[in-house]
Structure 1
Amino acid sequence: VAVSRQGTVAGYGMVARESVQAGELLFAVPRAALLSPHTCSIGGLLERERGALQSQSGWVPLLLALLHELQAPASPWSPYFALWPELGRLEHPMFWPEEERRRLLQGTGVPEAVDKDLANIRSEYHAIVLPFMEAHPDLFGPSVRSLELYRQLVALVMAYSFQEPLEEEEEEKEPNSPLMVPGADILNHLANHNANLEYSADYLRMVATRSIPKGHEIFNTYGQMANWQLIHMYGFVEPYPDNTDDTADIQMVTVREAALQGVKGEAERLLLFERWDFLCKLEMVGEEGAFVIGREEVLTEEELTTTLKVLCMSAEEFRAFQDQYGWGQNAREEDNLTITSIPKLRASWRQLLRDSVLLTLQTYATDLKTEQDILSNKEAYAKLSWREQQALQVRYGQKMILHQLLALTS
């Protein structure tokens, strides 16, 4: 295998120089070469100050390690930093002008996710990172004391770091902190990938998961990522229909709004809110949650099934349901919500789901037909800017899933 800019989908990538067999080791990275809070030259200090560096993201120690090593004259990672993309040219939507982000990605969930990120980055920087750097001026020169650089490094960690999975017996613990893995972070991502990173005591090993012909690019997976997650965290998408992991969200409060459309009078409205509060207690819904629909499955099947069931019950059924509180035991077979079972759902459930999809489609600034016309016209598509193309793919993939739901509920 070789690292190359030729024959790759974007920037650097890895290409097979000879044909590769499934299970073959492509390369190994010794743990000593990983860049983490433990391996950096200020590891001892970061460990001693660990309590003061705790944050919502859990990324502060790694980011401080990067800030220090970036300006340390003799950093052993200098050759690695030379391979990084130019920090000022990262394509994450957090670097797009706000107006462009809202216009192109309205309805996709990305603008809201970016707003949260930017608020968290700002508060984390001013509350924890800057005070720490100012307390250690010998370790952090003025060149790295910048919110803009911190934001760029957060985006870089989003896009290029790896998170070692927890062992089965550790699953109750907090997730592991991210690590920078030189070499492994050069591979591009595809849902239909052909390599995977394996963790062992001394090495991280990139292994082929199937045979790869000579000259073909080697793709890792960053996880099961919908296009909105790919553009939010990595700054790119997989064009339709390649991303088999794509999803569309229906906000939980949108289903409540759809149910309210059919309510007559104050008594019915109060009963609906009582049901909603009950669903909140069951932890099936929340004000900020979403039901997640994939191309072939409902990823939040239990939550959506229970919500449709409770919101569509008669008043008597709801009282009985509240009393028994054993909704799990008497769930009937026809209540199992899969994409294929949607046409067989009760009419009231189908109607509520359909109304929720229609309300969700109204949150986008454009309709499916307009986007189909652009995608089917190569010249029109080529005239779009790179950001417009990426955003179009995000919107289109989501709308195709939502329109599939509309067809199934009709």
Structure 2
Amino acid sequence: MDDYMQPARAFLDWFRACPGTTFHDDIEIVDLRARGAGRGIVAKRDIPVDTVLFTIPRKTIISATTSELATFIPSIVQGAGEDKEGEDEEGDDEDDDDSSKQDPWTSLILIMIYEFLRGAQSPWKPYFDVLPAVFDTPMFWGDEELKALQASPVVGRVGRAEADEMIRTKVLPVVRAHSAIFFDKAGIAPLDDDALVQLAHRMGSTIMAYSFSLEKDEDEDEEKEKADGEGEDVDMKDGEDEDHEHEHEHEHGPGCDHDHEDDDDDSNAGWVEDKDDQLPLGMVPMADMLNADAECNAHIAHGVDALTATAVRPIRAGDEILNYYGPLSNGELLRRYGYTTEKHAFFDAVDVPWALIQSHLAEQMHLLPAEAAKAADAVDVDEFEDPVMLDRDFDEDEETGQLKAPEGMSVVLTELPQTLRRQARAFAKVALRQQQKRREKALANAPKSKQTGKNGKNDKTHAPKTEKEVVAAGLVGALSARLAEYSTSLQADEELFNSGSVPAGSRLHAALRVRIGEKRLLTEAVVLAKAMLAEAKAEAKAEAKADKAASKTKKNDRRGEDDDQPSGKRQKR
């Protein structure tokens, strides 16, 4: 008999035996490999909305407040939050070095390493048995595999080197300084540095995929505010959907994650960058068994003493219970979890660096680098965005967890982002004003003979474009250049993706889905920018025609006035 489900059964028995846990009788953990997924939870009978599916007491969570490691090395918890007095806790001298002052990420990595090395001695051993041992995120891809992502911003966010550096400077020194706690106490031989780094990477990736940011339940004020047991929603993540066939990475089912929309951080260090959220992190058993998708039927909420999974809409018998990843693009989904889904295309996004946009705007105005830099320094825009993000249009029902494209929409992008247009207009306005001042100053200082062109008229050969023309033409150039950074066309990618020749769930399949979503956005953005340029040119042409007509009328009026004046000379008789 296939023993694939045996670890899950042992885990469920362990979970139910933990004080305070609940697991609804109408749900069960099942083998979903036939759907291209791993393990998951399905409804055995119809489940009404608002049904509590399972309950996870906080004391069941792996965290700095539940693992005994914090009692042996108190300083590892300091980085997760300041103590009540705002001062470092007194301890042994060896704990006072910088490597012992941890942030929530490295603190939990150390705790996970400790509990993992304990094996059967750890109270969470059955939980570790259902966590993945191998991850398929781009951090573990080879160079050739990464090339399949082409110009996707995902490539710049892998951060393997940064993760290595953090592990070697913040994790290894603590483990080595407390070898007796990590190894002797567990009855095992110390790991060498390479093996320890690999284990730390595994734990870091596990935390990325499955952890929560935990509210500080010891805060008395928060306890009063949440006396009814209700709290804020927590974004959950999964490891698979029906189209994902990784039987090695996420075969143990989906995971969860802490609040993830902190991607404004420019560190680009893979899972390292997400450590900037300074709330304590924890690993939440049973939440990991829920698969998830962009459309969900359940959510996780924080309570004072427990986390609860609740149905957000009616669930039919046989349906899988799905949690919510959060609004992650397929690129971000791939970076964090190593796979993509069809429905997460609703959240697809691609960045356009402001430097690229600015350079094309400057080109339209024939600005020298110094002139462009001066204009950029003078731009005053609230909440300046760099890079500027393009994302698609969709409607979302937050209460039922459902998504849909707007009625009758045949494209993924209906307008250029307001931020993009606002910043481009602000730069063009400043640059054109500065350019006009320079032109007027040069004209005033030039000899009179140089101030006019042929026939004594002002030289209009290099008349400046209108602000709208500059902005539109600059955006066409920048967006086209960004799209050209990808080495294949959107059409070629779509044909390959739909040909069936690329195995679903493979790394190439995931890379194709990511770059297709990004190219669709850029392609449609170019179309919108070109339409914007055509409109700007039409307006400029109409204005020029109107100005010409007004000038002609004014000239004729002057001639008429001259004809009415008495002649300055009399003809001889």
Partner of 2:30: 4
Q: How does 1:154-303 map to 2 (within 5 A)?
A: 154-164=204-214, 175-239=278-342, 242-264=344-366, 266=368, 269-279=369-379, 284-285=384-385, 289-296=386-393, 303=419
Partner of 2:125: 78
Shift of 1:242: 4.9
Partner of 1:328: none
Change in Cα spacing, 1:302 to 1:365, as seen in structure 2 (3 Å) is same
Q: Distance in 2 between matches of 1:274 and 1:133?
A: 51
> In percent, how many aligned pairs have the same letter?
26
Counterpart among 372, 380, 402 of residue 522 in structure 2? 402
SS of the counterpart of 1:3?
Answer: strand
Change in Cα spacing, 1:40 to 1:254, as seen in structure 2 (3 Å) is same
TM-score (norm 2): 0.59
Shift of 1:165: 6.2
Partner of 2:509: 389
Q: How does 1:133-172 map to 2 (within 5 A)?
A: 133-141=175-183, 142-143=190-191, 146-164=196-214
Matched positions, count: 370
Change in Cα spacing, 1:21 to 1:353, as seen in structure 2 (3 Å) is farther
- Runs (4+) of structure 1 moved beyond 6 Å? 165-168, 297-300
SS of the counterpart of 1:35?
Answer: coil
TM-score (norm 1): 0.81
RMSD: 3.0
Does residue 1:349 correspond to 2:471, yes or no? Answer: yes
Q: Distance in 2 between matches of 1:265 and 1:318?
A: 10
Q: List gaps (5 residues or longer) in structure 2.
A: 1-26, 80-97, 184-189, 217-221, 226-231, 233-258, 260-275, 395-412, 437-466, 531-573
Deviates more, 1:366-375 or 1:308-317: 308-317
Q: List gaps (5 residues or longer) in structure 1.
A: 321-344
User: Contact 1:8 / 1:217 at 8 angstroms: preserved in 2?
Assistant: no
User: Contact 2:211 / 2:281 at 8 angstroms: preserved in 1?
Assistant: yes
Partner of 1:374: 496
Does residue 1:112 correspond to 2:156, yes or no? Answer: yes
Letter of the 1:109 counterpart: P
Change in Cα spacing, 1:399 to 1:244, as seen in structure 2 (3 Å) is same
| Larger gyration radius, structure 1 or structure 2 | 2
Shift of 1:201: 0.7
Shift of 1:82: 0.5
Q: Distance in 2 between matches of 1:107 and 1:273?
A: 26
SS of the counterpart of 1:225?
Answer: coil
Q: Distance in 2 between matches of 1:20 and 1:385?
A: 31
Does residue 1:43 correspond to 2:70, yes or no? Answer: yes
Shift of 1:306: 3.3
Counterpart among 480, 486, 491 of residue 364 in structure 1? 486
Letter of the 1:274 counterpart: K
